[in-house]
Structure 1
Amino acid sequence: MAEASAESSGARDPAGAGAGGAVAPVNADAGGDESPYVLHSRIDIAAVLRDLVRSRGLASVHFGGGQDTLLTPLLRVDPVAGEIVFDCSGAERLNQALMRASKLLFVSSHDKVKIRFTTGSARVVQHEERAAFAVRMPESMLRLQRREFYRVLAPVARPVRCVIPVDRSNGVRNIETRLHDISQGGVAVAAQPQDLPAEIGALYDNCRIVLPDAGNVVVSLRTANMLAMTLLNGKQMVRVGCQFVRPSMSALALIQRYMMRLERDKRSRD
């Protein structure tokens, strides 16, 4: 079972990259293999593309060195053939320019998650008796998630443990909490009030999040907010929102893969 640590200095802020109005050049690197926000799995990429098709989301297709842009819906994704089909423009000049382009940059969003990927040249196909464009599915895809919006609830049927070392007068005590939700920016955990000090801004190093079938993530956590709760059985609990402090890229990558798996499981049940 893999274990990712939090020794490296600083994670990228997913809310910052790609959130502005400027569009990166078509030949820009989509983040590199080290980025935890880059998908490489064909299954994951196809799932994101299907969501775009299902939601009738629009994509901006940039080409010609970033000089030309086509705003178009994605019409179909075919993982078996490895193709994406999208609509043509009503302007023939733009269609001809797109056909001459050797590389296309797609930028879209779904559920407040920015999506970006590049493909090779397009060819003309027929879709529902109309002309459309088809491109090969990308080998990688960049998903930029705004931390304040994007979080995944931990499964109730299969609880996730987060072990937090707390300094006591008689030494360090490992407090076992239950994960409520997780994002690229931090976690919320449920604990008994007497276990964690009611102190906003407290820093806890070497916290261990045990992700089922994924591995252990070791991070530093800083408390950001606390909420007292009373369960149906009358038991008092506290939900503590925590931010990651200088998480390593390997830790974020492991968290990203776990979140993607939870999303796939949820889609399969819907």
Structure 2
Amino acid sequence: MDKTSPSAADAVADIGDGASLAVGGFGLCGIPSTLISALHAQGASSLRVVSNNCGTDDHGLGILLGAGRIARVTGSYVGENKEFARQYLTGELEVELVPQGTLAERLRAGGCGIPAFYTPAGVGTPLAEGGIPWRHTADGGVAVASPAKETRRFDGRDYVLEEAITCDFALVRAARGDRHGNLVFDKSARNFNPLAAMAGRVTIAEVEELVEPGALAPDDIHLPGVFVQRVVALTARQAADKQIEKRTVAA
């Protein structure tokens, strides 16, 4: 089955207002920047995003955030995004912060059809006990707070119940992919991209290099095409457009 889309614009055309999105990447590494730009041009709003972080003020999901298109973020790191902090503190954005490992497992569980799991991360903290501000009021009060989570003891140790995450769509970026949707990720770009892809009901992958089916050795494939519905081949210029949060050079 050839899953290639003619363009990023075509691939994201049916993402509607209020859709939930699992978005891959780690900082600015491995982010689906072309798909994000296409979604920005498409105009969908009130998006509910699940991603490790929300980009920076000028790159990645920060583009959608700055345009007021994101209503809710589930992530583990605020990062280098001042606009993210401003919107959260003024009540414009709802934010659920999740321990990074827990976020990864919630996405993986969603992709595997596991509804929930127990973890020791967060036991005895407001993460389990509830009360963390998810949304503030304009004057700094708490409009929506996190609920308390179920805890249970196994072999003398307490664990907190975490629910799996599934989303309407997933946007990911791969180093290589074939027309069947089999994907290979490069180094740390593999951190969240495969998990986000698993959690999407419709997963859209932008690939830096599109190859024909059979060109990828089965043992080299990080994510099988069963999890991917659409593939967008990047141009050489798009593939080379990779940003760095903080560029450091020798003195």
Higher helix share: 2
Higher strand share: 1
Higher CA-based Rg:
1
Is the pair's TM-score, using the shorter chain for normalization, greater than 0.5? no
